[in-house]
């Protein structure tokens, strides 16, 4: 029996694998109020995100569909879990936080408790070519919530 602390990197790696194999909220959301496509031509990831925002500006439900590599799918799946229940403005700032976190060399800031699982994406910083896979869904979230009609692209 070992009393060693679990290796957090391993836990997060498993979380990414789990979300890529069993994506949460996968499929079309019939009564969506906001949708956006995201395309990452470098990898071939194509996602469509759906959100239903209620009259008070809260994201009631989220879903996504599409195809892509494990990182892009896991990131979209984690996104739908993280932003459901958030106010639109909070979801947008969450998107900005994650994009900054993955694309700059700045030290990690703490994440709010409900975003804790998004630390699972931190590992892609070591693989610059995969960062766009991880940020794709977040670009699409931003586009959906600002009613941007152009597909979000990582290019
Ligand atoms: Zn990809």
Q: How remote is the CA of residue 41 from the centroid of ligand 1, in Å?
A: 9
Q: How remote is the CA of residue 67 from the centroid of ligand 1, in Å?
A: 9
Q: How remote is the CA of residue 8 from the centroid of ligand 1, in Å?
A: 23
Residue-number span of the structural domain to which 70 is assigned = 6-146
Establish if 153 belongs to a structural domain: no
Establish if 109 belongs to a structural domain: yes
Q: How remote is the CA of residue 51 from the centroid of ligand 1, in Å?
A: 22
Spatial distance between the Cα atoms of 85 and 110, rounded to a whole number of angstroms = 20
Per-residue pLDDT, averaged over 143-150, amounts to: 80
Spatial distance between the Cα atoms of 66 and 118, rounded to a whole number of angstroms = 20
Q: How remote is the CA of residue 1 from the centroid of ligand 1, in Å?
A: 39
Q: How remote is the CA of residue 69 from the centroid of ligand 1, in Å?
A: 4
Establish if 98 belongs to a structural domain: yes
Per-residue pLDDT, averaged over 120-133, amounts to: 89
Could you tell me where the DSSP H helices lie in the chain? 8-21, 70-83, 88-103, 128-145
Which CATH number goes with the domain that contains 47? 3.90.1010.10
Q: How remote is the CA of residue 54 from the centroid of ligand 1, in Å?
A: 31
Q: How remote is the CA of residue 56 from the centroid of ligand 1, in Å?
A: 34
In this structure, the number of other CB atoms found within 10 A of the CB of residue 12 comes to 17
Q: Give percent above pLDDT 90 in the chain.
A: 66
- pLDDT band per the 50, 70, 90 thresholds, residue 13: confident
Establish if 151 belongs to a structural domain: no
């Amino acid at each position: 029996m070992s009393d060693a602390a679990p290796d957090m990197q391993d836990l997060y790696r498993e979380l990414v694998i789990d979300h890529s194999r069993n994506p949460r909220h996968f499929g079309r959301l019939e009564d969506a109020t906001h949708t956006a496509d995201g395309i990452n031509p470098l990898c071939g990831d194509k996602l469509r995100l759906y959100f239903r925002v209620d009259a008070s500006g809260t994201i009631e439900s989220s879903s996504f569909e599409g195809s892509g590599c494990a990182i892009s799918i896991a990131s979209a799946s984690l996104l739908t879990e993280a932003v459901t229940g958030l106010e639109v403005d909070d979801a947008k700032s969450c998107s900005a936080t994650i994009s900054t976190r993955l694309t700059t060399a700045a030290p990690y800031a703490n994440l709010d408790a409900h975003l804790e699982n998004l630390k699972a994406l931190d590992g892609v910083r070591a693989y610059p070519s995969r960062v766009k896979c991880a940020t794709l869904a977040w670009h699409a979230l931003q586009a959906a919530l600002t009613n941007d009609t152009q597909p979000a692209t990582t290019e």
